Structure 1
């Protein structure tokens, strides 16, 4: 289990007047991630998602607050905790002077794996992400989706129990995005805890057992996608009037239909989704 308690991250930055001011990127964040779940951190750009991941993976230190893995503070034994985690970064960061296999080999050596284990895991992970025939290719020759899958394979080389994925499908087309989703579901089915950050609302709704909605560095709410939707009402009526686009929530389709019948203009009746909850909680429409 991962426990975050009162996490704060502040940076010193220059404002438009070139004065140094303190910016709080993460503001008193507390939450817990259960073993084996797919946990999503959903928020608009600049909400503090990547900064949170960087603190959880020990790439940067919190200003204040505590992070625990299985009840043990990361301050106590960071080297052992790093063995438990894998990281899929938001940005592609392969060594383009090395082949796919050599990139995997380098990462395995950094984890002090034996030569026999390295050979086994490299081929096993490339096969898992359907890149087994690319081992001798250069990363620059791969498509965007193939590079994303290779990042996943590399992050899994040392068999981590917890996988962090920072915007894992950013800039990918819908077909490739869903292929990545299938890999994430397969990992969770095999017992890996997966923590993803995303600003794609439909991605969080499709994948995550629970979602934390963050905005301006603060935790707004945390629940299952279904519970978020049910808290508003399971059915949504949308319509347009003179003041703009409107919507209202109802518990049943029958209630929604009765209300829609009272409107002068046509209305659309549909199931409530996580985007509706996100907009209600943050007042923003992002990633759709």
Structure 2
């Protein structure tokens, strides 16, 4: 059995089969439709997006291709960032910033009626809520929050607190860990890069648009395992202390990503033991990636 080579040394076909595209979702199509377009463009069996965006919402929508879809769950672990227009129903009070700051921290939210999940009260954390600008009856917000936060509901509740009433206007996602909007790729960029590679044999554009799937794991604590241990993991074994070469600090039960020394992803799992111990289980498998 052969393990994957170093991420930077992979062929274009290998990139497409285990890759990620930091896509700039356009307004109109659903996130599911966009992922299907990426799948068809890349000519792979599967593609999966990282966190649903409503059809009208634009911005950062990482899409995993091929076998990388096995670990789409990692995007539930990180934070999201949005820029939103808050449409106020009356003239704003003078203390908009102070009232908005009170929403930072854990919030109770019930998903809206049209959501795809059960409408049970749950807690989501708002890490930062900044009012960037207020003009007439509009406020421009920057929101950094826990995955699964309903920004539309947040805007409604903020309008109640302001005493004006409000609803969410335009919404754009500017980041989803570990990606942001600094290097977004459009569907046209992806199509052009694939055409250049298939028609001219030049892969320089492709390598700028389709990244090794390991790029989607950089926000997780990492564990480096020996190639022999990785081969055992590929057969379903857990990660045991003798096979661990190095490990980042991680709390018990925290999701971690395991790699071979050349940087190739091996598996996702939960930290359950001491990586510095001589014996015992260190990582309990959740997804095997080789």
TM range (shorter): under 0.3
Query: TM-score of the superposition, structure 1-length normalised?
Result: 0.26
Higher share of residues assigned strand:
2
TM-score by length of 2: 0.26
